Amino acid sequence: MSGGSNFASFYISCSGSGGSASGSASVWVEKLQPPTVTIQADPTRITSGESTTITWSTRNADSCTAIGTVPRWRGTKASQGSQTIQLEGDDEWHGFFLNCSNAAGTTARHVQVFVDRLFEIDFTSDRKEVQSGENIRLQWELRQ
């Protein structure tokens, strides 16, 4: 191949007592590109105890490895797929990273999911039964 061309040309020439012959062939050579990686989370914001689904796809990847703050996400991944993961958290981000490789290199992409704290409310009243028109006292307390 010459000067960055995407064609490779091959020539052959033979000669002998019966004469001579020659031939040629050209081959288009595509340069291998690093993998392309797409990763998404749905939803990207949840309340502690809820789940998110991580979906990914790749092109030209020989292998993919998942890393991040969530142990259930880590490890070898197929070139495409999805995984639903329940998350616990207290107003914090969780990162999902996917590194995919081939002979041309590695491509890394990530997505983050925010986990809101779960709030609980204690709700009480001063009476269990009331008649129409009577007053009732309601109290509530927010627990974090």
Render pLDDT for 119-134 as a digit per residue (tens, 0 to 9). Answer: 677 778 888 888 888 8
Instruction: Find, among 36, 34, 27, the residue nearest to 8 by Cα.
Output: 27
Task: Give pTM, 2 decimals.
Answer: 0.69
- Per-residue pLDDT for 77 more than 50? yes
Q: What percent of the chain has pLDDT over 90?
A: 63
> pLDDT class for 144, splitting at 50, 70, 90?
low
Confidence of residue 105 (pLDDT cuts 50, 70, 90): very high
In the chain, the N- to C-terminal Cα span, in Å, equals 68
pLDDT score for 2: 44
Q: In the prediction, which pLDDT does 140 show?
A: 80
Positive or negative: CA dihedral 55, 59, 62, 67:
negative
Task: Single out the residue of 42, 54, 50, 143 nearest to residue 89, CA to CA.
Answer: 50
Question: What is the average pLDDT across 1-6?
Answer: 53
Handedness of CA 49, 80, 32, 6 (dihedral sign): negative
Instruction: Categorize the per-residue pLDDT at 103 as very low, low, confident or very high, splitting at 50, 70 and 90.
Output: very high
**What mean pLDDT, rounded, does the chain reach?**
90
Q: By mean pLDDT, which of 21-25, 36-40, 62-66 is the weakest?
A: 21-25
Tell me which DSSP letter residue 101 carries: E
Phi, psi of 73 (to 5 degrees): -85, -30
CA distances (Å), origin 113, targets 33, 58, 91, 92, 143: 30, 21, 11, 8, 24
9 has pLDDT over 50: yes
Q: What is the pLDDT of residue 5?
A: 55
| 86-103: average pLDDT | 95
Ordered by where they begin, the domains of the chain are: 36-120 (2.60.40.10)
